[in-house]
Structures are given as structure tokens and as C-alpha cells.
Amino acid sequence: MVKVLIVDDSAFMRNALASMLSSDPEIQVIGKARDGVEGIELVEKLRPDIVTMDVEMPRMDGIAALKHIMEKNPVPVIMVSSITTEGAKVTLDALDLGAVDFIPKNLSDLSINIVKIREILIDKIKHIARKGIVKRRIRPVTASKTIEIPKSMPVRITGERRINLVSIGTSTGGPKALQEIIPKLPKDFPTPIVIAQHMPPNFTGPFAERLNQLSQITVKEAEEGEPLKNGVAYIAPGRGHMRVKRPRGIETVIAISENKEEFIYRPSVDALMSSVAEFFPGRALGVILTGMGNDGLKGLIELKKTGGRIFAQNEETCVVYGMPKAVVDAGIADKVLSIEEMAGEIINAV
């Protein structure tokens, strides 16, 4: 039985979340708190397996409560955030402080998709609660802590297959995982990097800006039609699905589709990886990181068939070992790596 504590100043949201979660026989809502102060008290008293934490609350907000909980009684915390640019920045701060994921504050507005939302929320709660706190908490990288990497890339042995593009897919736990990888890449990284991270539309821009500030390479939210450049990481915008294409036969550019298509998650990792397989056959590295479900498996199978290489994050360092597990179980991963090893192995691969 997964024991959940809900912390939110809105009685409506407390009841809405409790109703959705309690519909699953394996989940028990053991308490509800109206603000951060009550939340801290109930975490210590009730010892929940997981906490949902509102960001904006009276007396003590979610960020202050999160700091206290992670210092005194560490437990997985999912932030409940408003889907605004400002809400995105605060939520990213929370992820840096130890929150494992977030859910949209406006769950109640999406009544047409309420069944699907409930399924995703319940699945997320179960997976994160059972995994618990990842042993090594990934901390934000600062310039002073950046690892030493040679300024020039190693000389490639003649005849060794060339990687021309790195493609990364991730979901739950992805923001912290990407902060463990991208800032460690050298300024003269020799290929473009394309990234599909499951995120709402207003979140991907601020996330790209944050990664750019931490990194030696350029990181930006991808735009329709822009050409791929070496040493630039392109974050798929949350409003649609990102692909690579070669419309003029020579220059590879970004393509953004805002159609829902057949994919459950947006932006879709499968959509990105399939396009990479098509336009970079045998010349791409696919990286699959922490996340729920199996988004990316289909696209990476296609990538593998073309002769591409695949790296998967290991179970021990994943917040949710879903997406990498699907790839590992399919037998297509060339290497299974801890998040701490990933940046170095990517550098060696290109």
C-alpha cells in the first residue's frame, strides 16, 4: 500500500487529488495539509511514502516546506504547479532542491481527459513511491563544480564509425538527469544534440534557459525550421512533437508538429528517435534516461536497425526505471550506465 500525503491550500484540489488517488486500491491518502507548516508536521508524524506539494500556499510555501522535508525527513515529493512561465521557474527550483517531479495545478480544468489524467497520476505516484529517494541526489551543476574535460576532443581512430547526432529522450526525473549530463559537455562538442523531455509548453523554454546558463555548450528551445549546429542542444518545445528532417536534401533542420498524432506524451521521444533513424542511419547515438512507460522504445528499435548506438540509464540512478527498462529488456542497449557515467561515455562516443 502506497501512503500519500497531500499538501495544498485549496480544499478543492485536496479533495480532487484525494478522490483520484483513492480510486486505486493500492493507494491510501493518509493525510491532507493546508500549508507548508502543516505539511512538515504531518510528514514527521505520518511518515508517508510520497507527498504532493502545492507551490503557492499561505504561512509557508511549497519551496520552503520542501527544503525542510529534504533536510529533516527525506521523502519523494511531487510538486503541484501552475502551468505558467513563472510557475515553471519555481518548479525547476523545486526539482533542484530534491522534488522528483511535478503535476499541473489545473488538473481540474481538464475534465474531458480526467480518466487518462487519473491513470497517469496513479501510475506516477506508484512508481516514484516504490523507488523512494534515489541514493545519490543529483545536484545542480555550477561553473565551479564543472568537471575538467580536455579542451580538444580526442583524435578519432581512422575507420571508426562517426556519430553525427546525439538524441536524448527522458521523462520523470529527466530535468535533474539532464543537468547531470549537458553541463559536463565541452564547448567544442562536435555534434548537435536533440532532446525530448516530457514537459508542458510553458516549461521547456525556462528549462532550456536554465540548462544554457549551466552549460558550456549552447542550449535552447528548438524552433521550426532552424538548422542543426554542432555544439548546440535543442530542447523540444512542449507544445508539440519535434523531429529532424532534410527538406532540401542537404541541410538538416528542426520540424515541430503541434498535432496530437497517435502519441500519449508530448513531446514524443518515439517521434524524435524515429526521425533520427531516418535521416541519420548508422550515424546517431540514442540516449534514453529516467522516465515512466516505454516512450522511445519504438524509435530506438528503428535507430538500432540502421546501425545506430544506444545508451540507457541504469536502474539504480533512475527516478523511475520505465523508459530505460523497456530498452534494456528489448536487448538493444549497447551500454547501461549510471547518470554519473553518461556524459563521459557520450563524449567518448562522438
Number of H helices, E strands in the chain: 11, 14
The C-alpha atoms of residue 342 and residue 318 are separated, in whole angstroms, by: 12
Residues sharing a CB contact under 8 Å with residue 201, sequence separation 6 or more, in sequence order: 83, 237, 238, 239
198 is annotated as an active-site residue: yes
Phi then psi for residue 34, to 5 deg, are -95, -15
Residues sharing a CB contact under 8 Å with residue 142, sequence separation 6 or more, in sequence order: 214
Question: Catalytic: which of 49, 81, 198, 270?
Answer: 198
Contact 304, 273 (CB under 8 A): no
Q: What is the dihedral of CA 265, 9, 206, 93, to 10 degrees?
A: -110
The C-alpha atoms of residue 117 and residue 104 are separated, in whole angstroms, by: 10
Where do runs of H (alpha helix) occur along the chain? 11-22, 36-46, 62-72, 85-97, 114-131, 174-181, 201-214, 269-279, 297-305, 323-329, 339-349
295 is annotated as an active-site residue: yes
Determine the length of the chain: 350
Instruction: Enumerate the active-site residues.
Output: 171, 198, 295
